[in-house]
Copies of this chain bind each other. A is one copy, B any other.
């Protein structure tokens, strides 16, 4: 199975309203609620592709119960979340029907105790015994040490399990030093990590900081990957408009699913690009449109770029 780690799981709530006006009162016409956090999103895409996937991380309180109840409904997905005494956070996405803009409000997440953090690490090590790959995704809740991901990557390496890291800020800066096999930053995260806004330079810099391969997601420009051996640029067949929420998580699922099927980098990248694009096109934020995915996949372009000096 593929293991995904979401230390700061969330109950993602989406409110649709005709138009958001700051300082006013709004009746919400449509409410949707689903399990969230980046690793949970990655797991849902992997499960939809038919992969057996196990979700770990923390959950607690009433929102945590709702989240776990909803996860039981997903085929191919096993819930191995570790209970915490705090309450799983909510995120609220307010979608303005007129402008199409989404305003996001993210709660900080529960405080995790030392004992809970140690309990998680034991569960994690056990799960690695049957994992073919692990994705470490998203922000750290209060109480989890900022160097957490570096330690989890080292544990994965000791177990012979390839690890992908997708996070931001200090958790990314400290995590990359643990030498993940794959790092998947977006353009902003890459610039924050390296200080460079030039994607190729920043991607190469991120490799020097410890990542085996860096796959940078550049929005509509697709993916730029620098592996130990080569440099690749993967692009979707056409410029797409839609909701980019979850496109990065779908790219992670594409990379990992192809990795565990022993496919080479060009196939991993075309799958990642097609899944991302099919997520942007989907009417439901963070879901991917399967028909669009299957139609887009043959049209994605992956080019090997000349390696300079």
Task: Write out the residue numbers on chain B whose beta carbons fall within 8 Å of the beta carbon of A101.
Answer: 22-23
Number of copies: 2
Q: A22-B101, A92-B92 are in contact. Are A107 and B62 (CB under 8 A)?
A: no
Is A99 engaged at the interface, CB distance under 8 Å to the other chain? yes
A245 nearest CB across to chain B (Å): 10
Do B27 and A102 have beta carbons less than 8 Å apart? no
Interface residues of A (CB under 8 A from B): 13, 15, 17, 20-29, 31, 62-63, 65-66, 90, 92, 94, 96, 99, 101-108
A241 nearest CB across to chain B (Å): 16
A31 contact from B24, B25, B26, B107, Cβ within 8 A: B107
- Top-8 shortest CB links A-B: A23-B101, A25-B104, A62-B62, A28-B107, A20-B22, A22-B103, A26-B105, A31-B107
Do B106 and A24 have beta carbons less than 8 Å apart? no
Report the bound CA distance from A63 to B87 in whole Å. 13
Do A27 and B106 have beta carbons less than 8 Å apart? yes
A30 nearest CB across to chain B (Å): 9
A41 nearest CB across to chain B (Å): 16
A105 contact from B28, B63, B106, B108, Cβ within 8 A: B28
Do B108 and A24 have beta carbons less than 8 Å apart? no
A38 nearest CB across to chain B (Å): 14
Q: A23-B99, A92-B92, A101-B22 are in contact. Are A28 and B106 (CB under 8 A)?
A: yes
Task: Write out the residue numbers on chain B whose beta carbons fall within 8 Å of the beta carbon of A28.
Answer: 105-108
Chain B residue nearest to A19 (CB atoms) is B22
Q: List 17 A-B contacts (CB under 8 A).
A: A13-B90, A20-B22, A22-B22, A23-B99, A23-B101, A24-B104, A25-B104, A26-B104, A26-B105, A26-B106, A28-B106, A28-B107, A29-B108, A62-B62, A62-B66, A92-B92, A92-B105
Of the listed residues A15, A23, A31, the one surrounded by the most CB atoms of chain B closer than 10 A to its CB is A23
